[in-house]
Amino acid sequence: MAENPEIKWYVVHTYSGYENKVRDSLLKAVENNGMQDKIVDVRIPVEEAVEIKNNKRRTVQRKLLPSYVIVKMEMTNETWYVVRNTRGVTGFVGSGNKPTPLSETDFASIFDAIPQTRLDIAVGDEVRILTGLFENFTGKVVSIDSITHQLSVVVPMLKRETTVELAYDEVVRADG
């Protein structure tokens, strides 16, 4: 069965922190009103991020667009009313009173996020090396490359300073 060409993605503005409540309430309203063919999908754009804090690595979910929910629907008076009157919804994104649908490229750019790694180590911090030839040496971070997830660390060795390239997970803060 071909999808209705009138069904498009719309951005809905919510109260801060109400994204999950709005999604759940909207899905329940769709089910109760038998509107599964008009309101097809409700999503909260999130990204998976690896966070390294206090020398512990964990995966967290972060909202890409806080206070917004993306709804795939056919825009009719009935669907507009159901979405607009969902508790926590402040309105649609668009010009004036007319909601503007997302283009396919805008929608794809929202949901094609690359996982990010957040690091609690900064340039100038003292770190201890965990593996390799320089295991248990301490050094000072001189640069951080967030694309390759590498650190440049200057290690004093034999009265000279040697620069070493290391991965995020090969070091810990020296004060930790």
pLDDT at 87 over 90: yes
- Residues 98-118 have a mean pLDDT of 77
For 1-14, write each residue's pLDDT tens digit. 456 788 999 999 99
CA dist 148 and 85 (Å) reads: 46
Domains observed in the chain: 7-117 (3.30.70.940), 121-173 (2.30.30.30)
Sheet (strand 56-63) strand order: 56-63, 46-53, 116-119
For 125-170, write each residue's pLDDT tens digit. 999 988 888 899 999 999 998 778 889 999 998 889 999 999 888 8
Global pTM value:
0.64
Q: Following CA atoms 100, 106, 110, 115 in sequence, which dihedral angle do they give, to the nearest 10 degrees?
A: -170
